Amino acid sequence: MSHELKRVFASLPQMERGVAKVLGGDPKGNNFLYTNGKSVIIRNIDNPAIADIYTEHPHQVIVAKYAPSGFYIASGDVSGKIRIWDTTQKEHLLKYEYQPFGGKIKDISWTEDSKRIAVVGEGREKFGAVFLWDSGSSVGEIVGHSKIINSVDIKQTRPYRLVTGSDDNCTTFLEGPPFKFKCTLSDHSRFVNCVRFSPDGSRYASAGADGQIFLYDGKTADKQGTLGGAKAHEGGIYAVCWSPDSTQLISASGDKTVKLWDVATGTAVTTFNLGSDVLDQQLGCLWQKDHLLSVSLSGYINYLDKNSPNRPLRVIKGHSKSIQCLTVHKEDGRSVIYSGSHDGHINYWDAETGENEEISGKGHSNLVARMTVDESNRLVTCSMDDTVRYTDLSKKEYSASDLVKMEVQPKTVSIGPGGLAVAVCIGQVVLLKDKRKVFTLDNLGYEPEAGAVHPGGGTVAVGGADGKVRMYSVQGNTLKDDGKVLEVKGPVTDMEFSRDGAFLAVSDEKKVITVFTVADDYAIKNDFYGHHAKVVCLSWSPDNEHFASGGMDMMVYVWTVNDADKRIKIPDSHRLHHVSGLAWLDEHTLVTTSHDASVKQWTLKI
**Three-state secondary structure of 283-329:** EEEEEECCEEEEEECCCCEEECCCCCCCCCCEEECCCCCCEEEEEEE
Q: List Cβ neighbours of 368 (8 Å cut-off, separation of 6 or more).
A: 324, 325, 340, 341, 344, 345, 346, 381, 382, 383
Is the separation of the CB atoms in 324 and 341 below 8 Å?
Answer: yes
Select from 281, 297, 316 the last residue of a domain. 316
pLDDT of residue 468: 95
Please, which residues have CB within 8 angstroms of residue 284's CB and are 6 or more apart in sequence? Answer: 13, 20, 21, 22, 23, 34, 238, 239, 252, 294, 295
- The per-residue pLDDT of the chain, averaged, comes to 93
Query: What pLDDT sits at residue 97?
Result: 95
Instruction: Confirm whether 382 is domain-assigned.
Output: no
* Number of domains composing the chain: 2
CB 371 within 8 A of CB 359: no
Give the burial string for 424-447 (b: 16+ CB within 10 Å, else e). bbeebbbbbbebebebebeeeeee
How far, in Å, CA of 225 to CA of 140, rounded?
29
Dihedral sign computed on CA atoms, order 185, 187, 191, 195: negative
Specify if 192 maps to a domain.
yes
- Flag whether 392 is in a domain: no
Q: How much is the pLDDT for 1?
A: 82
* 420 within a domain of the structure (yes/no): no
The answer as to whether 474 is a domain residue is: no
Going by the DSSP 8-state scheme, the letter that residue 397 receives in this structure is B
Q: What is the CATH number of the domain that holds 524?
A: 2.130.10.10
Helices (H), 316-455: none
Q: Say if residues 417 and 455 touch (Cβ distance below 8 Å).
A: yes
Look up residue 359 and give its DSSP letter: P
Sign of CA dihedral 440, 443, 449, 453: negative
User: What is the model's pLDDT at position 226?
Assistant: 94
* pLDDT at site 176: 82
Q: Is residue 353 part of a domain?
A: no
Partnered with residue 179 across adjacent β-strands are 140
Which residues have CB under 8 Å from 193's CB, separation 6+?
A: 20, 150, 151, 165, 207, 208, 209, 236, 237, 238, 239
Domain-terminating residue out of 316, 334, 355: 316
Strands of 149-154's sheet, edge to edge?
A: 149-154, 161-166, 171-175, 180-185
Q: Give me the residues paired with residue 53 across strands.
A: 41
* Residue 457 belongs to some domain of the structure: no
Question: Which 3-state string (H, E, C) describes 72-122?
Answer: EEEEEECCCCEEEEECCCCCCCEEEEECCCCCEEEEEEECCCCCEEEEEEE
**234 within domain boundaries:** yes
* Domain boundaries, position 509: 488-601
Enter the pTM of the model.
0.90
Domain boundary among 296, 316, 336: 316
Radius of gyration of the chain (CA): 27
Give the separation between CA 259 and CA 604, rounded to whole angstroms.
48
The DSSP symbol for 23 reads P
Tell me, what's the pLDDT at 410? 95
- Residues in the chain with pLDDT values less than 50: none
- Pick from 546, 497, 540, 543: which is nearest to 518 by CA? 497
